Chain A
Amino acid sequence: MINLDRILGLVLLTLAVAYGWGAFNFPVAFAGPESVGPATFPKILAFIVGACSLYMLVKPDSLEEGEGFEYKALPELLLVLAVLVLYVFMMEPLGFVLSTAIMVAVLCWRMGVKPLYAGVTGIVSSTLVFLLFHFGLALPLPIGPWEV
């Protein structure tokens, strides 16, 4: 099995190089070049992050039994992430109550709650939070298609 440290080391090293390369290509400031300008600090950081990720790549921590990445959980995690991203974009079109109820219900269900209870939890909690924010705190949340 590939060590997570190695993968992360590689990814972060790439990012550090890109970050450092970006620092060398900042537009020259209006006031003219300075000895220590906006690029100095990012260059130092690129070096630190690069060096540390190189170390991780070369000498990863040995993983103990039962630790590390659970590949079996990956589809589940992707599903949950998809639900969260969808939730963000559905909040305004669907309205807060409906979108939140669906989000909470799906999450509860995926964590092992029976569908009926999950649905009830979603509806009750989202309605309560909506009422609290909308009327209690006077902070309007998106109402969605039911807006008159």
Chain B
Amino acid sequence: METLGLLMDGFNTALSLENFLYALLGCFIGTLIGALPGLGPANGVAIMIPLAFTLGLPPETALIMLTSVYAGAMYGGRISSILLNIPGDEPAMMTCLDGYPMARQGKAAEALALSALASFIGSLVATIGLIFLAPVLARFALSFGAAEYFALVVLAFATLGGVTGKNPVKSALAAGIGLAIATVGIDLSTGTQRYTFDVLELFEGIDFIVAIVGLFAVSELLLFIEAHQGSTPRSEVKMNPLRLSFASVVQILPTSLRGGVLGFIAGVLPGAGASLGSFVSYTLEKRIVGSKGYFGEGDPRGIAAPEAGNNGAASGALVPMLTLGIPGSATTAVLLAMLVSFNITPGPLMFTQNADIVWGVIAALLLGNILLLLLNIPLVGIFVRLLSIPPRYLLPIVTMVAFVGVYAISRSAFDLCFMIAFGVMGYIFRKAEIPLVPIILGMLLGPEMEKNLRHVMQIHDGDWTMLWDSSLSIGLWCIALAGLILPAIIGPILRVRMRRTAD
């Protein structure tokens, strides 16, 4: 019951008045970020990081706020799915299937309330899973040596695209570019200058926060400019007064529980991710309910299943991030960036060295979910109204916030120019369908990866075979290889199926 004691300490941290208020603020901003089209969760959390810095928050408060933003963004994604038939992010795609028909039948309020409830249950199930699985995994990961760590990072890159990923060559390319950017600066173990071109600003390397904000926020602006999508899609759906029957709540309970468990598994597994979580739980639910359901025509269970799955996966994805320091999704990669910038090394040691922070975050996740449920049911009207802010006003303001945030950390025009450059790069790469997350992951994990590689080589006197010497590292290499090859085989089949279900 050591875990419960630690969790209680976590609640003590999370429930202090200041942290609680920041959690509330985070939940609100997160829902907004998730709901507004054109502002994905990773993007939103990225913009919030420099702001959390400038506020001068202590690490646990900043983490609690950003975890709440993360949880909130997952909640918010469903609002535009249901009301506009536009998924706020990819995992919310499945929610459109039954959410939009239900809204058109004049049951928008019910759809929103039931999906909020399902999200809550899914997150709750997965957070409980996280509480029990994470410490076990962290203890196991303590036995990792340098070779195993190196293999683990390779595995993370190999599975990052996920089984639904498109072109593995482009993922590998992106990972290589990210790692290459990470080598810029003074080499920590020898003091050699690498790619600094004698520019003082480059001696400490390229700040990944600048890169992240540029890659996500600035490239988003450029994409919108190109597409001329300045206007808001009009919602044909009217909000109705909420009439929630007890029977419909009971009806979605088993669905949400199942969805939460499936989502959690999909979130924990490398390469699965939230999209797969919501897809699997939707299709499974359809099969379980069978002909008694009316899926695709506004069945509440068709909203509950993917929402529970997607929120379960969001919490599940925190397991590898917190225990191994290996994020499985864009948003967890951004959260990792924040940990690293607070000088907290994620990974198994975090559970012993920074126990208060880890458990504070987990407690914040639970608290955030309760807050979100409470916020979402009565306040959904406000979010709906905010949804009608057109991107043509929103994106310039978001850009301004991104600039102010980065400027406030470093006060350097050099960093701002770098941010714009990363924005251009992000825009071009998105056009070429080169994924951006491996770049960020490469920048984040590069230094550790290189350190471990050189460590292995120094111990074993440059013997490269030592990288796959233990059974554990061989296992990790095998999974990594499978992660690279499988998507090429299963990926196309799975994508076709997902699209067919969506149509």
Contacts and interface: CB of A to CB of B under 8 A. Distances in A.
Interface of A: 4-5, 8, 12, 19, 22-23, 26-27, 29-31, 34-38, 40-42, 45-46, 48-49, 52-53, 55-56, 61, 68-70, 73, 76-77, 80-81, 84-85, 87-89, 91-92, 100, 103-104, 107-108, 110-113, 121-122, 125-126, 129, 133, 137, 139, 141
Contact of A77 (B192, B225, B397): B225
Nearest to A80: B225
A113 B432 contact: no
A48 B54 CA distance: 37
Contacts, number: 170
Contacts of B397: 104, 121, 125
Contacts of B222: 77, 80-81
B413 A89 contact: yes
Given A8-B429, A81-B420, A100-B400, 16 more contacts: A8-B428, A8-B432, A19-B180, A27-B192, A36-B458, A40-B457, A45-B180, A52-B172, A73-B225, A91-B407, A103-B396, A108-B393, A110-B225, A111-B395, A121-B396, A126-B400
Contact of A36 (B169, B192, B454): B454
A52 B396 contact: no
A80 B424 contact: no
B224 A111 contact: yes
A27 B192 CA distance: 7
B190 A31 contact: yes
B133 interface: no
A139 B417 contact: no
Among B173, B192, B231, B431, find the residue whose CB has the most chain A CB atoms closer than 10 A. Answer: B173
Nearest to A136: B55
Contacts of B103: none
Interface in B348-382: none
A68 B190 contact: no
Contacts of B187: 29, 38
A35 B230 contact: no
Contacts of B183: 41-42, 45
Nearest to B391: A111
Contacts of A110: 225
Interface of B: 54-55, 167, 169-170, 172-173, 175-177, 179-180, 183, 187, 189-195, 218, 221-222, 224-228, 230-231, 391-393, 395-397, 399-401, 403-404, 407-408, 413, 416-417, 420, 423-424, 427-429, 431-434, 449-450, 453-454, 457-458, 461-462
Contacts of A133: 54, 404, 408
Nearest to B175: A48
Given A4-B432, A40-B454, A88-B413, A76 B400 contact: no
7 contacts: A19-B195, A23-B194, A36-B458, A37-B192, A84-B218, A88-B403, A103-B396
A26 B192 contact: yes
B236 to A, nearest CB: 22
Contact of A56 (B170, B230, B392, B449): B170
Contacts of A52: 169-170, 172-173, 176
Contacts of A104: 396-397, 399-400
Nearest to A8: B432
Nearest to B404: A129
B225 A111 contact: yes
A137 B172 contact: no
Contacts of A139: 54, 408
A137 B194 contact: no
Among A30, A45, A48, A121, find the residue whose CB has the most chain B CB atoms closer than 10 A. Answer: A45
A52 B489 CA distance: 19
A17 to B, nearest CB: 12
A49 B396 contact: no
Contacts of A19: 180, 195
Contact of B231 (A37, A56, A112): A112
Given A4-B432, A76-B225, A88-B420, A53 B407 contact: no
B173 A49 contact: yes
A49 B395 contact: no
B494 to A, nearest CB: 18
Contacts of A23: 194
A80 B228 CA distance: 13
A5 B432 contact: yes
A89 B393 CA distance: 23
B407 A36 contact: no
Given A42-B180, A45-B183, A113 B431 contact: no
B133 to A, nearest CB: 33
A23 B195 CA distance: 9
Given A27-B192, A49-B176, A77-B225, A36 B462 contact: yes
A131 to B, nearest CB: 12
A46 B179 CA distance: 10
A123 B417 CA distance: 23
A23 B450 CA distance: 14
A36 B222 CA distance: 42
A48 B193 CA distance: 22
A111 B392 contact: yes
B173 A53 contact: yes
Contact of A111 (B170, B396, B453): B396
A89 B432 CA distance: 30
A52 to B, nearest CB: 4
Contacts of B195: 19, 22
Contacts of B191: 29-30
Nearest to B168: A52
Nearest to B180: A45
Contacts of A111: 224-225, 228, 230, 391-392, 395-396
Nearest to A124: B397
Contacts of B433: 61
Among B179, B225, B228, B434, find the residue whose CB has the most chain A CB atoms closer than 10 A. Answer: B225
